[in-house]
Amino acid sequence: MKQKKKVNSVNSNKKRIKSNLENALIHDGKMVLRLYEHELKELISEFKESLKKDNDEYLFAVTENNNDVAMILIDKQENIYINDDARNKLKTLWKEPYLCNMQKLIPQFAKQLIKNEIPVNGVKVKK
């Protein structure tokens, strides 16, 4: 009985996280600077290192905590975009595929976040 309750709780939390991510990333809902400062800012040097090591054009990460969402995007020139600026930059970079990409990625983001992992995505651009 306890295991079933735990599974239901995990599924409920995953749905909540997914909904919060959809609101922020697809429906232009608010993002919280305080959450960026608490969970993402301290990882900037690691993100930059990963960006260089993997030779990505840009890297972005999202987080969700207590219904708040935050995001960071770092480009190859190490410009840092936070929250709304990060989402808008990613929309500009991805253009039309943005919605489709987010619809595919958000469920994976929720799975990672439920395990207390921050989803980090490096992006290469075909030329």
Domain coordinates of the chain in residue numbers? 2-123
Q: pLDDT tens-digit profile of 2-33?
A: 444 445 566 789 999 999 999 999 999 999 99
Q: Note the pLDDT of residue 8.
A: 58
Instruction: Give pLDDT tens digits for 47-96.
Output: 999 999 999 999 999 999 999 999 999 999 999 999 999 999 999 999 98
Confidence (pTM): 0.90
Distance CA 25, CA 8 (A): 25
The pLDDT value recorded for residue 92 is: 95
| DSSP-derived secondary structure letter, 69 | E
* pLDDT value for 11: 79
Q: What are the tokens at 78?
A: 């190490």
pLDDT value of residue 3: 44
Selection from 33, 123, 117, 34 nearest residue 75 by Cα = 123
**Burial class for 13, CB neighbours closer than 10 Å (0-12, 13-18, 19+):** middle
